[in-house]
Amino acid sequence: MVKPRWVLAVTLWLGLAATIFWLLRTPDVHSVTPGPQLQAAQARQVLRVGVRSYPRPTDSREALVSEPDEMDSALARALAAYLKVPVQLRALPDRDPQALLKDGSIDVLIAGSLDLPTLQAQSRALDGPPSDYREGRMLALRNAPLPKSGLQGLSVCVAEGSPWNAQLQRLGTAPRIYPSSIRAAVAFMAGDCSLLADERNTLERLQAQPDWRFYRMLDTRLNASDDARVYLASNDLQSLAYLRAALHSWQRDGGQEQAWGLHGNAVLIDSLKVGQGLVCH
């Protein structure tokens, strides 16, 4: 029996759609071979990763050693685990985050969603936060009226590498960038900015604390430009393909969601320390 033409057309269309889906599907990290740059790290038996770092609130008057950002370091450890090597974390310099990558001191650079235009060809990124952490929000002083014209021109305290920075600029606000979320929060409480931007769950945790009862959450939702960017020193296509697979495996395995949870916990703990009179250096 000869099948009608429409049946054959639908069959061919479904087959083509399935083929396209298979080609676009991100492979599992364990099915991808690292490129030369990451193979060199395997041969060296250590993955050297540059991450955002900053001092925590403390009562010490001595110079402090910066501690790695929780989200960056969680991803760094995951990448090293996929490669089956130990990880070595290095603090990125404040003025030139790319410096360690340029001089060969590190294999990989992770700095949240920090945009490094000169390295875009050597980067891979996640598209956005996991579903439970899908939006950023903003806090404002509870009784402070906002302009009827909107948020344009209002200063916003926000951390360097925050995934909300791009939309803050599109909204016409004036982002003021700080080394970390806790530094941004402290600056906001000191009155340096009209608004504070961070991940919604993190801000809700802060609002539950007595010191934050004077602040309210705005209805404006902030969509993430991307969640994490990983940079290499050169355009090693095979290593970039490996990073793409690793990022998606990390997301599927729940690592990304756990990293956002670590971020929220760290900001809350640091905030409690600040409330006890400890300071950020």
Confidence at 84, pLDDT banded by 50, 70, 90: very high
pLDDT of residue 147: 83
Q: How many CB atoms lie within 10 A of CB 71?
A: 24
Eight-state DSSP code of residue 121: G
Which tens digits make up the pLDDT trace of 226-260?
A: 778 999 999 999 999 999 999 999 999 999 999 99
Q: How far apart are CA 241 and CA 207, in angstroms?
A: 41
CB-facing half-sphere around the CA of 250: CA atoms within 13 A: 32
Which tens digits make up the pLDDT trace of 129-170?
A: 777 777 899 999 998 888 877 899 999 999 999 999 889 999
Q: Under a CB-based contact definition with an 8 Å cutoff, are residues 76 and 49 in contact?
A: yes
**To the nearest whole number, what is the mean pLDDT of the chain?**
86
Indicate the pairing of strand 195-199 with strand 155-159. parallel
What is the pLDDT averaged over residues 87-96? 92
Confidence at 63, pLDDT banded by 50, 70, 90: low
Which residues are 67's β-sheet partners?
A: 54
To which H or E segment does residue 250 belong? Answer: helix 237-252
Q: How far apart are CA 51 and CA 262, in angstroms?
A: 15
Ordered strands of the 123-125 beta sheet: 87-91, 47-51, 108-110, 229-231, 123-125
Confidence at 21, pLDDT banded by 50, 70, 90: very low
Give the closest residue to 185 by CA, choosing from 206, 154, 162, 214: 206
Confidence at 66, pLDDT banded by 50, 70, 90: confident
Which tens digits make up the pLDDT trace of 266-278?
A: 999 999 888 776 5
Eight-state DSSP code of residue 131: G
- CA 38 from chain centre, in angstroms, equals 22
What is the C-alpha end-to-end distance of the chain, expressed in Å?
Answer: 81
Q: Under a CB-based contact definition with an 8 Å cutoff, are residues 85 and 41 in contact?
A: yes
pLDDT of residue 31: 87
Confidence at 20, pLDDT banded by 50, 70, 90: very low
- CA 110 from chain centre, in angstroms, equals 9
Window from 14-18, 63-67, 229-233, 258-262 with minimum mean pLDDT: 14-18
